Amino acid sequence: MTPQTDFLIPNTLSLASRAAWGGALTSLADVQRFVAFAKAQQLPCLVLGEGSNIVTGPEVNACVGLSRITGIRVLEENPEWVRLEIGAGENWHHLVMTALANGWNGLENLALIPGSVGAAPIQNIGAYGVEISQFVQAVVCVDEAGAVQRLASAECQFAYRDSVFKRRGELVITTVELQLHKHLNVNLSYPDVARWCAEQGVVQPTPSQIAGAVMDIRQKKLPDPEQMPNVGSFFKNPVLPASQAQALRQTFPQLSLYAQPDSQQLKLSAAQLIDIAGCKALSQGPVQLWQKQPLVLVNRGGGTCAQVLALATRIQQRVNSRFGVWLEIEPTLLTRLG
């Protein structure tokens, strides 16, 4: 791998953006060399997957690598479960489909999430009642000194849309170890998935049918990034102290509240807050809210990073003014580097 100057940064928001240096990383050795190169250039080192969860400025003064380490390898298995090692550059949805084809269950609720396997633990991706942290056994990464570290699941400090990798951006993920089960234990906790099965007359759904339900629901609600540039959910669902959330619902009875593992907190729907606050018609040039899912900001062509962030700020301000809740942006902002 030879770093290239003036490197085009791929991103699913279709924002024009270039890095000082960049290149594709296809092996652990590539990652270690790239980390050393960035250190020699005295620049931040960033390694991305498919650019599906970033908002990037026009000029990023950093060394940006693209993770292209692939492979799905069985480390250990028995009649109950299988433990896999997956390259960080593997496409996430491809992993889900490969797992289903082999009878490895658990990831079906996470079907069709854009991005790579290496990006998944950073955000602790979750959808339809499931988070990747439920299956992570370990994450292997390279630190800023080029040393290889293997962090067990507990060391990853997973939380809602969060992990240690968000706070320690110098760690470059190279492989992820997941443990999936072989028995049938589908998750129907999310109302939309249960409703889909009922409407289809599916009483005892298989993991493949759950994946089909999730893909159908997602395709009806969310735009395909290849057709309409976006990064998926732009804001996190706010998690509030139960007393604050319940007080809000006394004023706004239509608000949905969702129980959390910590009984002292409740989660609200950011999409619902945005809708009630009257944000759906807001736009900033070609950057607009997706009408079928107001959590999604789309770039209809030629939009800039400044326009994306300006619209996000307007939404945050309006929601805060109405509910006293400040929405947190979910994608990573690559706008203040170097």
User: For residue 221, what are the contacts with CB-CB under 8 A and spacing of at least 6?
Assistant: 292, 293
Q: Among this protein's residues, is 233 annotated catalytic? A: yes
| Predicted pLDDT of residue 338 | 43
Give just the sign of the alpha carbon dihedral 93, 309, 249, 240.
positive
Q: Among this protein's residues, is 330 annotated catalytic? A: yes
What is the spatial distance between Cα 331 and Cα 234, in angstroms, rounded to a whole number?
6
* CATH number at 72-181: 3.30.465.10
**Range(s) for CATH 3.30.465.10 in the chain?**
72-181
Q: Which of 161, 163, 177, 218 is catalytic?
A: 161
**Range(s) for CATH 3.30.43.10 in the chain?**
4-67
What is the spatial distance between Cα 163 and Cα 177, in angstroms, rounded to a whole number?
16
Query: Which structure tokens are listed for 69?
Result: 């380490």
Query: Which structure tokens are listed for 128?
Result: 């339809």
Structurally, at CATH architecture level, domain 4-67 sits in 2-Layer Sandwich (3.30)
DSSP 261-295: SSTTEEEE-HHHHHHHTT-TT-EETTEEEETTEEE
**Range(s) for CATH 3.90.78.10 in the chain?**
230-334
Query: Which structure tokens are listed for 186?
Result: 């589908």
Which residue's entry shows tokens 């110098």?
170
Q: Which of 14, 133, 163, 233 is catalytic?
A: 233
- Phi, psi torsion values for 37, nearest 5 degrees: -65, -45
- Phi, psi torsion values for 48, nearest 5 degrees: -110, 165
Residues in a beta bridge with 160? none
pLDDT tens across the length of the chain (338 residues)? 789 999 999 999 999 999 999 999 999 999 999 999 999 999 999 999 999 999 999 999 999 999 999 999 999 999 999 999 999 999 999 999 999 999 999 999 999 999 999 999 999 999 999 999 999 999 999 999 999 999 999 999 999 889 999 999 899 999 999 999 999 889 998 899 999 999 999 999 999 999 999 999 999 999 999 999 999 999 999 999 999 999 999 999 999 998 887 778 999 999 999 999 999 999 999 999 999 999 999 999 999 999 999 999 999 999 999 999 999 999 999 976 54
| Predicted pLDDT of residue 263 | 73
| Nearest of 115, 21, 9 to residue 57 by alpha carbon | 9
What is the spatial distance between Cα 22 and Cα 56, in angstroms, rounded to a whole number?
14
Rg over alpha carbons for the chain, rounded to the nearest Å, is: 20
In the chain, what is the greatest distance between 2 CA atoms, to the nearest angstrom? 61
| Predicted pLDDT of residue 260 | 83
Q: Among this protein's residues, is 195 annotated catalytic? A: no
* CATH number at 230-334: 3.90.78.10
Query: 173: helix, coil or strand?
Result: strand
Give just the sign of the alpha carbon dihedral 37, 39, 41, 47.
positive
Give just the sign of the alpha carbon dihedral 314, 315, 319, 320.
negative
